[in-house]
Chain A
């Protein structure tokens, strides 16, 4: 069964750090591009970051560049998002998603993990 399971969300004060994870099963993780997409409460979807299968090519939205870092451990079938210098506006559900290549669509999604930045 194809599955993406996020974890690591929680509540953190502004300026704090958090790392969320996504464990993958049911498809070839090491050959799949992966992304993080977030959704603030009651709002739309926002692409956050992407990484290629090898982990040597990464991309970030301007809103998180310099603060967030995407990485992966192919031996553990796990995707990570390290979030530093968190802001109130980073509060959202964070979804990991598999990217179809070269189409560039998100064909498999996790259930999401909630990150709340609040004092």
Chain B
């Protein structure tokens, strides 16, 4: 079973700052990794898929890098609406899909 570990659990930042979120897989998932943003009371929103490709309508300040076991989501300059919980998600043989435990991005 592939386990995704996200760090940090909570990240405190200010608007305008750069935020870097990490996701590490217990074994290689190649580039089969996606990132989601979830705000309170809302469904998750797909940000990045295939580790580096922005989903439709996602601003360019969101970027993803990585392959194999180590992945990073970077938000280049935080906007007030970016403070939320972020999840990484992998697709592999088993479990078919899995999520990390999430990183809460909060306002400092």
Contact = CB atoms under 8 A, between A and B. Distances in A.
A and B form one complex: yes
B43 A47 contact: no
Contacts of A37: 44
Contact of B87 (A45, A50, A112): A45
B73 to A, nearest CB: 14
Contacts, number: 61
B49 A100 contact: yes
Given A104-B32, A107-B55, A59 B96 contact: yes
Interface in B29-50: 32, 34, 36, 38, 42-46, 49-50
Given A47-B99, A50-B96, A61-B95, A110 B43 contact: yes
B50 A44 contact: no
Contact of A109 (B34, B43, B98, B100): B43
B89 interface: yes
Contacts of B98: 47
A73 interface: no
